[in-house]
Structure 1
Amino acid sequence: MNRDAVTSIADAIEKMKPEFTRLSDSIWDFAELKFEEKQSSGMLAEKLEENGFAVTRGVAGMDTAFIGEFGSGKPLIAILGEFDALAGMSQAAGIAEHKPISSGSTGHGCGHNLLGVGSLMAAIALAKHLKDNNLPGTVRYYGCPGEEGGSGKTFMVRAGLFDDVDTALTWHPAPFNGVRSTNNLAVLEYYYRFKGLAAHASNAAHLGRSALDAVELMNVGVNFLREHMPQDCRVHYAITETGGRAANVVQAQAEVVYLIRAPEMPQALELAKRVDKVARGAAMMTETEVEIVFDTASTNLLPNITLETAMHENMVALGPVAFDEADLAFAKSIQDTFTDEAIKSSIRLYQIKGDVFSNAKVDGSTPLHVGLRDFEGQSHFRAGSTDVGDVSWVTPTAQCWTPTWAIGTNPHTWQVVSQGKSPAAHKAMTHAAKAIATTGLSLMTSPDLLAAAKAEWAEQTDGKAYVCPIPPEIMAGMQS
């Protein structure tokens, strides 16, 4: 893509920054949980309408899911936005100490206030460029609720909302700048609810049937199962209901939630069957009953090197994020709350090895990533999961990352929340918008690039059908 087009889009997005910074900060203030993001989704949808997008609300049976569309014809580029917060993540902004605003309340511990708005800026800027230059094509913004434990995109994929999309683009806040190709794990989430019989734990214990015993036996059984499952799989749990705090009562009810991860969804589904058998065995041993309740799921991510290379090249053209001394000083104060090992672990996790601009090894001595991560042109294993994976199975998909956080910051921590309104985070959000919008334009103006991305995707999916893990009855229930 020519330099003038990159400059034009970057300048347009820079002019949008003050207005959209306020929008991001408002969503930070709302800090709404999965599928409850009424104010956040409402403000994003309204901003699309103000900029000429046709908006459809309540898609795929979810009140806070929406789509905004601009333009007509092909190619059709999807841009993904998220806006949900996390429970228990309340934290004051702009300080380097743990200080909840309201104990136990919500907070944007993964930066989705920035994510949704950065993607929105990209969609609006790309649409404006198409209009001003009389270019064909369609820009579609997806307002995706419930990424945190809700898998909103999975429901949108199952509803067919991506069937006509040519490619999808997104980004995520991070401690680094650049493109990192990953093949994340598929994940399934189930609740195992045991029901027993209460009794006095001392003088009538023989009459009781302990649901808590069943939970504990299930956990022991799954611990043994871990030795006999594929190496890259993961199984972890949390006891969500113990049946009460009285030790002299045989607990009549108890519940445990399990996350079951595997490199591909069919493997995860097979592993889930084995976990179910352990649960039923625990119920049999304790003469209790168990109800197995599916909650959410996300499919493993299919990286697209063609798209990722194009996005990297646009990020090279954009240059680094323009941080100043005040940005670095605040990031350093945040970084001082981490151990040296945490900083090193962050660098390893995001595989920051080389830098395009400085050619220096990133070691954490500079608290913000002031360069651009080198792109190796190959994918890496990452043990996390995301519902972006479901989108990647139905259309070629790519994402970038920009340095909204100090190096060493881990997602789902108070440090993320504290940095969510910082000037550095706003600059990184704006930079992500530029990377997405310019990549979208590259796809719209280069038929060869689009064809190559599709060809790579077709080769990856050859003989492998997308396996949506959401049971049909659950989907029907959401849409009724």
Structure 2
Amino acid sequence: MPSCKSKQSAGEKNFVILEEEEHQRGGVSLIANFSINDYLSSNRERFEAVSKYIWEHPETRYQEFESAAFLADELEKEGFQVERGVGGIETAFVATFGKGKPVIGFLGEFDALSGLSQKANTTTQEPIEAGGVGHGCGHNLLGTGSLSAAYAVKAYMEDHQVNGTVKFYGCPAEEGGSGKTFLVREGVFDGLDVALTWHPSYANSIMSLSSLANYQVYFRFKGVASHAANSPHLGRSALDAVELMNVGVNYLREHVVQEARMHYAITNSGGISPNVVQSEAEVLYLIRAPKVSQVDDIYKRICKIAEGAALMTETEMSIVFDKACSNYEPNRALERILHEKLVEAGPVQPTEEEKQFAEKIWNTLSEGEKKNFIAGMESFGYQGDGSEFEGKFLADIISDYVPSDKVMAGSTDVSDVSWVVPTAQLTTATSAIGTPLHTWQMVTQGIGSFAHSGMLLAAESMAAAAIHLFENEEDLEAVKAEHAERRAKEPYFCPIPEGVKPSATK
């Protein structure tokens, strides 16, 4: 069996649990006869097979039928009790082992992205299917890594007759669907004491930054069709309304908070015949800002612009709210524990073959992408100037943990979980330095040996953090107290209105 990951020296930084006697070695709690690293290493081929299955069956938001069923089946085989279709979402599920407190959960994702079909382990863009779906954000790794951590904790609990509960949350539609936000709204995470998760990247660090909240909303215009030459005066163009709305929003950009982002895509232009006045048109807006309240203010102003566009064109306008998510709320006490376990596990030491492949991937990046690699790392919590990566193409160090008040220029539905449950996230290197998310380069590296080693490093770190919380009630109470203090100052409200239902498309 191949090792979970290459260590700097045999047995170094390996989280071990010794039975009966407890003692300290370099700050690690030892309770013998159980090694998380050994457990993951001995099951590596099994976990790689799970990752590869999900990678080979890419599915977009709320359409993850094969991936969700496969993961749920695997968890049942492992002895978890699985509840499917939770929160009214067919591809969402919760797997549970054990009983009583504490209840520690691992969040797993498995959705993919359209237009990113790509062959594995190549250095050129080669779609498997033109325009097809691919795992451009590494969610095959994310879901499998969290599952691996849940398995390791279960094995420990069985070995040591531990009271408590471990849960794996099968979370669909992170990409553009805010699946977890819907699940939070439906109370799926109620009763959970702590949530742990991770995300693939090209860094090894704690994801300590907040994130942007967002709303995603369709604006639909209905006009009157007419012959564009013979009777244009009788027509009322819905496409004109969309264009005028976009112009108005572009003028609004100067008058919102600096961190705000307003993206749009015309999803229905009303047809392809220029000699017909377009009677219907639609534009989809994604509105982001550091706080939900800021997003809501901008959204209300955009609604007024849409109303104005409808008035100017004498068309009718309707709004369809698609999804939303909150800003991420870090839990510093939990992050410190997770970082401690990441450091103890130690970084992956790449092989020469992995280094050579990573260099070839680096050479496919644009000059802008190469220059941006430090900013990409910083968004995942990296601290430093990048000098330690001089001449390297894979990250082989673990970043220091420095809590930050900065905001990542992106959004995640993990955020809503963090408002209702103490939550911490880490990232591990699974791709070549500089690899942007949502690209063919990310897809092609998604089932390579280095990616799977990074995945199991994440699993080891999360499992060790969970076991630490089972063993150390005082630390768990500190984590929960920090969360309670934040919520006392700023209670949570779900940004998705009650009447809005999750769907693949609107």
Q: What range describes the TM-score normalised by the shorter chain of this pair? A: over 0.9
1:275 match: 302
Question: Residues of 1 paired with 2:236 and 2:203: CA distance?
Answer: 52
8 Å CA contact 1:187, 1:261 repeated in 2: yes
Q: Secondary structure at the match of 1:2?
A: strand
Q: Secondary structure at the match of 1:92?
A: coil
Q: CA deviation at 1:6?
A: 11
1:425 match: 451
Aligned positions of 1:171-250 closer than 5 A: 171-250=198-277
1:91 match: 118
1:136 match: 163
Residue 476 and residue 8 in structure 1: after superposition, are their counterparts in 2 closer, same or farther (change >3 A)?
Answer: closer
Q: Secondary structure at the match of 1:120?
A: helix
Question: Residues of 2 paired with 1:379 and 1:76: CA distance?
Answer: 29
Comparing 239-248 with 117-126, which one deviates more in the overlay?
239-248
2:279 match: 252
Question: Residues of 2 paired with 1:216 and 1:264: CA distance?
Answer: 28
1:152 match: 179
Residue 440 (structure 1) aligned with residue 466 (structure 2) = yes
1:367 match: 393
Residue 389 (structure 1) aligned with residue 415 (structure 2) = yes
8 Å CA contact 1:169, 1:436 repeated in 2: yes
Consecutive unaligned residues in structure 1, runs of 5 or more? none
Aligned amino acid, residue 398 of structure 1: A
Residue 18 (structure 1) aligned with residue 63 (structure 2) = no
Aligned positions of 1:306-385 closer than 5 A: 306-351=333-378, 361-363=387-389, 365-385=391-411
Residue 26 and residue 335 in structure 1: after superposition, are their counterparts in 2 closer, same or farther (change >3 A)?
Answer: same
Q: Secondary structure at the match of 1:182?
A: coil
1:118 match: 145
Question: Residues of 2 paired with 1:53 and 1:350: CA distance?
Answer: 36
Q: Secondary structure at the match of 1:415?
A: helix
Q: CA deviation at 1:460?
A: 2.1
Aligned amino acid, residue 484 of structure 2: A
Comparing 340-349 with 425-434, which one deviates more in the overlay?
340-349
Q: CA deviation at 1:185?
A: 0.8
Q: CA deviation at 1:343?
A: 2.2
Residue 336 and residue 465 in structure 1: after superposition, are their counterparts in 2 closer, same or farther (change >3 A)?
Answer: same
2:190 match: 163
Comparing 360-369 with 459-468, which one deviates more in the overlay?
360-369
Q: CA deviation at 1:21?
A: 0.3
Question: Residues of 1 paired with 2:281 and 2:227: CA distance?
Answer: 17
Consecutive unaligned residues in structure 2, runs of 5 or more? 1-27
1:292 match: 319
Question: Residues of 2 paired with 1:362 and 1:188: CA distance?
Answer: 38
Question: RMSD in angstroms over aligned alpha carbons?
Answer: 1.8
Question: Residues of 1 paired with 2:217 and 2:66: CA distance?
Answer: 29
Question: Residues of 2 paired with 1:449 and 1:281: CA distance?
Answer: 55
Aligned amino acid, residue 466 of structure 1: Y
2:330 match: 303
Out of 476, 479, 495, the position equivalent to 1:453 is 479
Question: Residues of 2 paired with 1:331 and 1:23: CA distance?
Answer: 23
May I ask how many residue pairs the two structures share in their alignment? 475
2:19 match: none
Aligned amino acid, residue 144 of structure 1: C
Aligned amino acid, residue 99 of structure 2: S
Q: CA deviation at 1:236?
A: 1.1
Question: Residues of 2 paired with 1:171 and 1:148: CA distance?
Answer: 15
8 Å CA contact 1:303, 1:379 repeated in 2: no
Aligned amino acid, residue 442 of structure 2: V
Question: Residues of 1 paired with 2:367 and 2:314: CA distance?
Answer: 50
Question: Residues of 2 paired with 1:348 and 1:265: CA distance?
Answer: 25
8 Å CA contact 2:225, 2:235 repeated in 1: yes
Q: Percent identity?
A: 49
Question: Residues of 2 paired with 1:5 and 1:426: CA distance?
Answer: 27
1:127 match: 154
Question: Residues of 1 paired with 2:451 and 2:32: CA distance?
Answer: 25
Aligned amino acid, residue 314 of structure 2: E
Q: CA deviation at 1:9?
A: 1.2
Aligned positions of 1:61-100 closer than 5 A: 61-100=88-127
Aligned positions of 1:100-115 closer than 5 A: 100-115=127-142
8 Å CA contact 1:364, 1:408 repeated in 2: no
2:6 match: none
Question: Residues of 1 paired with 2:502 and 2:231: CA distance?
Answer: 45
Question: Residues of 2 paired with 1:267 and 1:6: CA distance?
Answer: 52
